[in-house]
């Protein structure tokens, strides 16, 4: 992964002229570019890890080769991929770096590292794919003398496959593409494709309650987790892998979404599905977002939900078309069906066996037509599919053009969705207008449930050079306050991390937060696990 952005060194997606023009005119850019500094200019402090702690860590993971303190390793592990982290990284000023990066290869080695870290007072930040977008990987030492990043890349692979029960057991560090490739050999799929799919680890997805693009069909990651094994500073905690159980509250639910503050997820037992024989994605245009959302509600509540649903408002549709065109040759053709029409775009998709797919599609499309939708065919669906993992590449280019580019997300009930969208949009607009940088704010429903839906806001504005942090914070605080005031969730799928920690109590309640802290104090008595995230103080 590129240290200052997304993807491998050889892949970039330059903005098309049309997109650059849209940004220039709507955001008032001055056309200047902002390149990242050279790697040698990135400032990291001298490592603080004591010699004794280093030696014990080396013994825990099988040798000095697996405890690294070279600048590049430390820089790559100095955070995730949030807007602010990328801005700081490109400027050569990450918010700290771990004192060492440690690579365990087994559950037992993770247990040994955590015992050592507790004894030597070293904070531990579990590192899966490194794609956190909420500051979940910030190398905060908290009350400890040093901080290590615990990279789980060596803890990878599928252990067992049970095609009859449709379950697999898998090591937590396994990356999304490697997992899907291994499952394909058995004609299976997990079907979990977040926008960050190319780099995520399955353990990181579980630790953040991640949601994939086809969540309406395959479910959220937490719905696919049958059992989980976690290494804590005081030993192993495992929730049995059973299809269902009434044996008290589900421990699994305490571990999933715990963001590394209780321990390290080392292995998972997952429910998988038979690999689909066919996939079909297509576009439907509606006159208004509210009308389209209402049609979608009917579809979902009539049990006709497609596997993929992406409903964009007018601004998001324009951004999608412009960004999509940057992303692939197929895109311009695909969006042709949309050109010249006013309205909003809904991408819908089905994955499955031939007959059931046709039947399900007919049910959905009948209801969408009845709700005012006009189908525009598969070209737009193909264009979406071709660009489905392009967003982070495009964001790198936007940052290079001096654009504040971020996504804020939440979820609310169907009854409150339109007011929620309006109030959050207005709050972001007001905050960025006050900074003198009028933004473009688009919104999208990308996950639909019986009782409500997610809302993701794409925010683009001229970045105030040198004041990016204050500008972003103004928008983020305004959006978060509006979300909380509306009674919606502070995060539908990115998690709490550091960036949402101040808002956790508003959602979980004071007793909820203190209960989680009590559990943490039990499992992590010296407070070494991921300080400053979720519900921990520092
Ligand atoms: C461009 C972009 C698009 C994104 N799109 C989506 C999306 O569509 N859906 C979505 O859900 N998310 C999305 N995300 C957010 C991010 O990809 C998810 O939160 C993902 O689940 C993180 O997985 P990871 O393996 O990269 O974890 P990391 O980023 O490495 O870690 C995330 C958090 O979990 C902890 N952690 C990691 N592994 C473990 C473990 N094994 N045990 C305990 N704690 C652990 C870390 O300490 C950290 O706090 C996006 C991010 C980016 C940058």
Per-residue pLDDT tens over the stretch 434-443: 999 999 999 9
- The model carries a pTM of 0.96
Residue count of the chain = 538
Q: Which of 126, 387, 531 to mutate to test ligand 1, by most ligand atoms within 8 A of the CB atom?
A: 126
Among 16-25, 42-51, 389-398, which is the least confidently predicted range?
A: 16-25
Of ligand 1's listed atoms, the one at least distance from the Cα of 175 is 25
Span 363-377, mean pLDDT? 97
As beta bridge partners, residue 48 has none
E-strand ranges in 174-305 read 188-189, 225-232, 235-239, 264-271, 273-274, 278-286
Sheet holding 167-171, edge to edge: 158-162, 167-171, 264-271, 225-232, 235-239
Centre of ligand 1 to C-alpha 404, Å, is 21
Decide if pLDDT at 64 tops 90: yes
Q: DSSP E strands: which ranges in 317-370?
A: 344-352
Q: What percent of the chain has pLDDT over 90?
A: 87
**Is residue 136 within 8 Å of residue 495, measured between CB atoms?**
yes
Q: Residue 332: what pLDDT?
A: 47
- SS3 per-residue string spanning 66-101: HEECCHHHHHHCCCCCCHHHHHHHHCCCCCCCCCEE
* 339 band by pLDDT with thresholds 50, 70 and 90: low
Beta bridge partners of 345: 285
Beta bridge partners of residue 205, listed in sequence order: none
Protein residue whose Cα sits closest to atom 9 of ligand 1 = 194
**Nearest alpha-carbon partner for 284 in 382, 373, 214:** 373
The whole-angstrom separation of Cα 469 and Cα 425 is 20
Burial 20-53 (b: 16+ CB within 10 A, else e): bebbeebbebeeeeeebeeeeebebeebebeeeb
Average pLDDT value for the chain: 94
Give me the percent of the chain exceeding a pLDDT of 70.
96
State the pairing for strand pair 100-102/146-151.
parallel
CA of 332 to the centre of ligand 1 (A): 31
Tell me the HSE value of 120 on the side-chain side, using a 13 A CA sphere: 23
- pLDDT tens for residues 147-183? 999 999 999 999 999 999 999 999 999 999 999 999 9
pLDDT at residue 373, rounded to an integer: 97
Contacts of 334 (CB under 8 A, 6+ apart): 324, 379, 380, 381, 382, 383, 384, 386
Residue 333 pLDDT? 46
d(Cα 396, Cα 37) in Å, to the nearest integer?
Answer: 14
Element (H, E) at 407: strand 403-413
Instruction: Ligand 1, residue 391: give the atom nearest the CA.
Output: 1
Ligand 1, CB within 6 Å, residue ranges: 80-81, 125-133, 136-137, 152, 172, 194-196, 200-201, 203-205, 207-208, 210-211, 259-260, 264-265, 391-392, 493-495, 497, 530, 533
Q: Among candidates 270, 161, 264, which has minimal Cα distance to 226?
A: 270
Whose CA is closest to 213, among 312, 350, 308? Answer: 308
Residue nearest atom 1 in ligand 1 by C-alpha distance: 392
d(CA 384, CA 389): 9
Sequence-separated (6 or more) residues with CB below 8 Å from residue 138: 79, 95, 96, 125, 497, 498, 532, 533
Residue with token string 């421990």:
251
Give tens-digit pLDDT for 320-336: 887 766 655 445 445 55
**pLDDT at 334 (0 to 100):** 53
Ligand 1 atom at shortest distance from the alpha carbon of 125:
47
pLDDT digit string, tens, across residues 446-484: 999 999 999 999 999 999 999 999 999 999 999 999 999
Atom in ligand 1 nearest the alpha carbon of residue 534: 49
pLDDT at 8: 84
CA of 130 to the centre of ligand 1 (A): 7
pLDDT at 290: 96
User: Distance between CA 60 and CA 67 in Å, rounded?
Assistant: 10
- The pLDDT of residue 10: 83
What pLDDT shows up at residue 76? 97
């Amino acid at each position: 992964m590129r240290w200052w952005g997304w993807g491998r060194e050889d892949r970039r997606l330059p903005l098309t002229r049309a997109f650059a023009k849209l940004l220039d005119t709507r955001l008032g850019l001055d056309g200047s570019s902002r390149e990242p500094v050279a790697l040698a200019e990135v400032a990291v402090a001298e490592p603080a890890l004591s010699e004794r702690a280093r030696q014990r860590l080396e013994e825990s993971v099988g040798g000095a080769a697996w405890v690294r303190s070279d600048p590049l390793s430390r820089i790559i592990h100095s955070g995730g991929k949030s807007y602010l982290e990328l801005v700081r990284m490109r400027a050569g000023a990450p918010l700290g770096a771990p004192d060492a990066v440690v690579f365990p290869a087994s559950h037992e080695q993770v247990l040994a590292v955590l015992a050592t870290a507790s004894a030597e007072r070293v904070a531990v930040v579990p590192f899966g794919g490194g794609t956190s977008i909420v500051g979940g990987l910030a190398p905060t030492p908290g009350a400890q003398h040093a901080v290590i990043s615990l990279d789980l890349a060596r803890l990878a692979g599928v252990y067992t496959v049970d095609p009859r029960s449709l379950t697999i057991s898998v090591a937590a560090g396994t990356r999304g593409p490697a997992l899907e490739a291994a499952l394909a050999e058995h004609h299976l799929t997990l079907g979990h494709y977040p926008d960050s799919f190319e780099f995520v680890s399955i353990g990181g997805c579980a630790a953040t309650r991640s949601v994939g693009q086809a969540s309406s069909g395959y479910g959220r990651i937490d719905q696919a987790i049958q059992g989980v094994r976690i290494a804590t500073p005081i030993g192993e905690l495992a929730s049995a892998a059973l299809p269902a159980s009434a044996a008290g509250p589900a421990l699994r639910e305490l571990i999933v979404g715990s963001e590394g503050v209780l321990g390290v997820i080392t292995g998972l037992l997952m429910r998988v599905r038979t690999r689909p024989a066919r996939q079909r994605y297509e576009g439907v245009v509606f006159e208004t977002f509210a009308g389209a959302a209402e049609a979608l509600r009917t579809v979902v509540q009539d049990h006709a939900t497609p596997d993929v649903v992406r409903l964009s408002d007018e601004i998001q549709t324009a951004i999608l078309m412009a960004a999509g065109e940057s992303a692939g040759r197929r895109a311009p053709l695909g969006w042709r069906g949309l050109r010249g029409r006013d309205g909003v775009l809904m991408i819908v998709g089905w994955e499955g066996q031939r007959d059931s797919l046709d039947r399900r599609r007919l049910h959905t499309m009948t209801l969408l037509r009845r709700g005012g939708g006009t189908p525009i065919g598969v070209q737009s669906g193909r264009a979406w599919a071709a660009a489905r993992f392009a967003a982070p590449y495009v964001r790198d280019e936007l940052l290079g053009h001096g654009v504040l580019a971020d996504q804020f997300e939440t979820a609310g009930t169907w009854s409150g969705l339109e007011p929620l969208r309006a109030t959050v949009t207005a709050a972001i607009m007001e905050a960025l207008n006050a900074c003198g940088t009028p933004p473009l704010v688009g919104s999208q429903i990308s996950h639909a449930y019986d009782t409500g839906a997610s809302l993701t806001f794409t925010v683009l504005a001229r970045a105030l050079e040198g004041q990016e942090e204050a500008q972003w914070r103004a928008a983020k605080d305004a959006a978060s306050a509006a979300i909380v005031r509306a009674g919606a969730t502070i995060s539908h799928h990115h998690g709490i991390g550091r960036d949402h920690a101040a808002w956790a109590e508003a959602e979980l309640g004071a007793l909820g937060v203190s209960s989680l802290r009590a559990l943490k104090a039990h499992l992590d008595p010296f407070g070494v696990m991921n300080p400053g995230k979720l519900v921990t103080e520092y």
